[in-house]
Structure formats: structure tokens, C-alpha cells
Amino acid sequence: MRIVVCGSFDPVSKSEVTAVKEIRRKYHCRVIYVFPEEEGILPRDLRKKFLEKAFRAYRHIHVTDRLSDDDKSVQLTDPDEEKIRHGEYRLAAWGLPYLLFSEGYYLEETLNYMCKPGRKIHSYGVAETACMLARCHGVDQKEARIASLLHDITKKWTPEEGEKLLSVWNPAMLKMNPNVWHSYTAPVWIRQNMGIYNKRILKAIEHHTLGDGKSSLDRILYIADKIEPNRKYNTEKETALAVKDLKIGAELVLEEAKAYILEKEGIHV
């Protein structure tokens, strides 16, 4: 008789790996993972590949999608799966967090959970514009897309939440206007929860409100944030200039942003 562990594994978590190992020790037999037929966020074949990767080091634990009449099934559910789908990639099984972020799996679910609907629409608009600029200037489009989708991930935090995080990780930024705090809380949240340590992505997010970044990705994200199509104003001039020259395009957008703040709030930036 086989002991078959059934679950959605969307995706497989660290705690599920531990649970399967415990089941194997308890029953002193091989444990076979198998999927139920229900649909998940990710396709079944992809979830199976994730399981195979998570259990590659355990030669007595095999992944299959077939059941026989003699099998004894054990249902496994884990709330960590939902947390992973909401951006806590660090809870995923070994080897999966980097794969999840690099391929953009569950980014939509993370945005749904972390951002208001309007902010999510804006983020997709930024990603569309950033990828276009990345293509024009030979910049990694995956990095441009990920940075765009995550740049406002802590935007809806209260000032108290932002202050709590920055007081530990970046207290110097507490002197800045709270409206820009999300540029500095987002990289910390992304590192801690998603396990993303890509310096280019994190730096671009950090510089996206003040426009003081120097790399091509920094400038792409800054420009895209200001000219994405959901802004509802004519950005043909800015777009055309950014396509030709990122540095000059970013300088124009920055000057326009300063002029807007001066006109609206009477503040020189």
C-alpha cells in the first residue's frame, strides 16, 4: 500500500515539505505526492515541476499524478500557500522563491492583496511603458516589468506603518516627506518577504519618486511612472524624448514634476 499525499501545492511551501517528511517517517514507506484535479492559480504541470524541484534531494519521495485503488490518501492543506501567493515567497520550498519572482508568478495575486484597484491598474500601465523603453534601450525587460509592478507595493501603508519600518531599516528617510516613504519601505518589504535581492530592481524602486537614480533602469522606472497611459494626459513629447535618450528624457520629466509641485503646493523641490 502506498501513502499518497494530496494537495493543491499552489505552490509547495517549506512547511509542506516538512509535513511530507514527517508522514514518510510515520508510515515507514515511500510517500507519493499527487495532485487533485482541481484548478489552481498556476497550471497543474507547472505545479508538478515545482514539487519535483522541492523534493529532488529526497530519493524516497516521488511525485506522480496517478492514484490506484490500493493507495491510502492523506490530504494536506497549508495556509502558507495563500501567504506565498500574496508575496511572502520566502515561505516557499527551497529553490522556489527565486524562480517565482524571476518568472513573475503570483505577482498579480500579490498586487491584488497589497494594492488598491487603481494602484494595480497604474502599476500595469507603468510596466507596459517601462518594457517599451527597456526594449528601445537594451535593458532587461523582465527586470523592468518586475520593478514596475512592485514599485508602489507599500503605497497604501499608513504613516505609522512606514515609520515603524523605516525607524529600524532606514531612519534617515524619516526626515523626508511621508509621501515618498513608500520608495524606501518597498525595497525592504520586497527583500524580507519576497526574497528579492536584485540590486538593480531594488535601487530603481528606491529612486522612482525623486528621480535621482543614475542607471538606465532607474530612469526607465522614473519616466514610466510619470508618463504611463493611465495618467490621462498627453505625454507624446516626453515619450518621444525618452525613446531617443533616457537621461534627457528623465531630466525633462523631473523638471516638469518640480514645476507641477511648485504650482500645486508652492514648494521648491
Model pLDDT, residue 264: 58
Inside any domain, residue 62: yes
Q: Count of domains in the chain?
A: 2
For the chain, give the DSSP string: --EEEE---TT-BHHHHHHHHHHHHHHTS-EEEE--SS--SS-HHHHHHHHHHHTTT-TTEEE-S---TT-EEEE---THHHHHHTT-GGGBPTTHHHHHHHHTTTHHHHHHHHS-HHHHHHHHHHHHHHHHHHHHHT--HHHHHHHHHHTTTTTT--HHHHHHHHHHH-GGGGGS-GGGTHHHHHHHHIIIII----HHHHHHHHTTTT----SHHHHHHHHHHHH-GGG-S--HHHHHHHHH-HHHHHHHHHHHHHHHHHHHH----
**CATH number, domain containing residue 67:** 3.40.50.620
The answer to whether residue 228 is domain-embedded is yes
Express each pLDDT in 73-93 by its tens digit: 888 999 999 999 999 999 999
Q: What is the pLDDT of residues 16-47, one digit of tens each?
A: 999 999 998 888 888 888 877 777 899 988 99
Q: What is the pLDDT of residue 179?
A: 92
Contact 257, 211 (CB under 8 A): yes
Range of the domain at 234: 115-265
Query: Which tens digits make up the pLDDT trace of 106-127?
Result: 999 999 999 999 999 999 999 9
pLDDT at res. 266: 42
Mean pLDDT within 96-109: 91
Residue 108 domain-assigned (yes or no): no
pTM over 0.75: yes
- 205: Cβ–Cβ under 8 A, 6 or more apart, which residues? 147, 150, 151, 183, 186, 187, 190, 221
Task: Read off the pLDDT of each residue in 186-214 and give the average, rounded to a whole number.
Answer: 95
Residue 142 has pLDDT above 80, yes or no: yes
pLDDT of residue 260: 62
> 181 and 231 share a domain?
yes
| Domain assignment of residue 140, yes or no | yes
